Copies of this chain bind each other. A is one copy, B any other.
Amino acid sequence: MLTDGPVDSPAWLTRERAAGMNRPMSSIDAVEARREAALDQLKAFLAIPSISTDPAYRDDVERCADFVLDEMRAAGLVSRRVPTEGYPLIYGEWSGAPGRPTVLFYGHYDVQPPDPLKEWRNDPFEATIEDGRIVARGATDDKGQCFAHLAGVAALLADAGELPANVKFIIEGEEESGGEAIDAFVRADRGEMIGCDAVVVSDGPMFAPGRPSIVYGLRGLAYCEIRVVGPSKDLHSGHWGGAVANPLNALAQILASLQDPVTGRVLIPGFYDAVRPLEDWEREGLRTLDFDEAAAARGLGLEEFWGDPERHVLERRWARPSLDVHGVVGGYQGEGGKTVIPSTALAKVSMRLVPDQTAAAIVAALRARVEEVAPPGVVVEVVEMNGCAPMLSPPRGPVADAVAGALEDVWGVAPVLQRHGGSIPIVSTFLEALGVPVILAGYGLPDDGPHSPNEKFEVENFVNGMKTTVRLLERLGGAG
């Protein structure tokens, strides 16, 4: 899931709000009437330890898939298990509004392991309400958020017997362990089963408490290992220092050749060729939003931000490619000193990509650069580990506008419209394979603590997620 980051509301939404177009409808009452029942079902969902990274929980993950299937059927969706090489995808649809738009909701029913267990105040799989927050593993990531969609649809169907627009759900069970099954499914399906007008994803936080946001762009990723091989075994630097090329020394030379340390500019030839500049409205948005750069830097313990001085900090984070070294393996990392010339050294390096860069082209360019600068005496190899394409979805359109309107209906304030610097492979795949907009609108808060002990989700945000779902469908159905 994603976390944090702001841009201010788009002007059109502010104008619409001023014109009084965003008044909530009585269907909201249907959600209120079902909040306790929905919360009880969410607790049952959270009680299943669907830890996809640990084979010991295989039966629980499968049971959780069944739970989602049962909930979809109980809501009135035509539903099925979609078998994969891993855990099943659970698919459901209601298509009783021909001619009206179709929204595909994506989410995941698997969760992170709860470790470290002793830091939890309660059993991570026995959801507890504390001060209006539901505390459990998966509360915000992603059971609580994706169940808000399903419970909203269920409330509307129970109340009215029909929906104002069509919905599809695809809920996967391997988001925390690679997500390869759904990726393969979406690429193969190409819209046959999951064709839609837009994909809506809630698996991240709002901009701030009370302030929703829509994310329409993500950076991609190219993750590589740069491997350097020297002597056939570790050597003593007293015996051989100065006569044998040290793989760690060589690696430092290679890494240093990849980036200007002052401007942050990546020095790989061709690296920026495909970078699409910001649109004028995006650049304008970055300049006018309430991002306190000095305070943000202080919050990270920094005197100031770093990088290309000609770009806004948020442009650097969201819309410019970057290169980071994540770790260096080789030699000695313990206390004190050991005078080893290691046999091998390895750097973990990733590059965040932006439209229209591709991981394949960037890895090829990195490989060429490393070969160009590799010093004598060592053998160098660049190994591609994983990657995903950058994502840029149309920030306006029928569904995006309806999501923005629904968020404002429920929260009473227009969402900020932003890109984000992170990468979500399945989101890029949806955009690429289905060719429809993908809209990210999280109901979590920046302090929800996904992947941490005492993960929580605000009960009010869960209920507001249900309401947003209802209002989205009503707006798509023509209700203002």
Residues of chain A having any CB pair with chain B under 8 Å:
3-5, 219, 221, 223, 230-233, 235-246, 248-253, 255-257, 259, 261-262, 264, 300-302, 304-308, 313, 316-317, 320-333, 336-343, 348, 350, 352, 375-377, 385-386, 420-423
Contacts and interface: CB of A to CB of B under 8 A. Distances in A.
A321 to B, nearest CB: 7
Contact of A244 (B302, B308, B320, B338): B302
Which 6 A-B pairs rank lowest in CB-CB distance, beginning with the nearest? Answer: A232-B301, A238-B422, A242-B322, A256-B256, A261-B375, A306-B377
B348 A337 contact: yes
Contacts of A245: 264, 306-307
A250 B261 contact: yes
A416 to B, nearest CB: 16
B223 A339 contact: yes
A370 to B, nearest CB: 13
B238 A249 contact: no
A324 B261 contact: no
Contact of A325 (B219, B238, B248, B420): B248
Contacts of A333: 327-329, 333
Contact of A237 (B4, B5, B253, B352): B352
Nearest to A240: B317
A251 B324 CA distance: 12
Contact of A350 (B231, B237, B342): B237
Contacts of A242: 264, 307-308, 316-317, 320-322, 352, 421
B386 A223 contact: no
B307 A352 contact: no
A423 B385 CA distance: 41
A325 B236 CA distance: 12
A340 B322 contact: no
Contact of A324 (B223, B237, B322): B237
A326 B350 contact: no
A377 B263 CA distance: 11
Residue among A239, A243, A313, A323 with the highest chain B CB neighbour number at 10 A: A243
Given A261-B375, A306-B377, A352-B238, A313 B243 contact: yes
A67 to B, nearest CB: 30
Contact of A316 (B243, B253, B300, B422): B243
Contacts of A342: 326-327
Nearest to A385: B337
A232 B298 CA distance: 9
A363 to B, nearest CB: 14
B306 A239 contact: no
Given A242-B321, A300-B244, A386-B337, A256 B264 contact: no
A361 to B, nearest CB: 19
21 contacts: A219-B238, A221-B238, A231-B300, A233-B300, A237-B326, A238-B352, A238-B422, A240-B317, A241-B421, A242-B322, A243-B317, A244-B307, A248-B324, A248-B325, A249-B323, A306-B377, A326-B338, A326-B340, A328-B331, A337-B348, A337-B350
B326 A339 contact: yes
Nearest to A354: B242
Contacts of A331: 325-328, 348
Given A223-B339, A231-B300, A244-B300, 6 more contacts: A221-B339, A238-B352, A239-B422, A241-B324, A241-B421, A328-B333
Contacts of A306: 243-245, 376-377
Contact of A248 (B235, B327, B332, B339): B327
A153 B239 CA distance: 33
Nearest to A242: B322
Contacts of A348: 331-332, 337-338
Nearest to A229: B301
B332 A330 contact: no
A445 to B, nearest CB: 16
A2 B329 CA distance: 28
Contacts of A232: 300-302
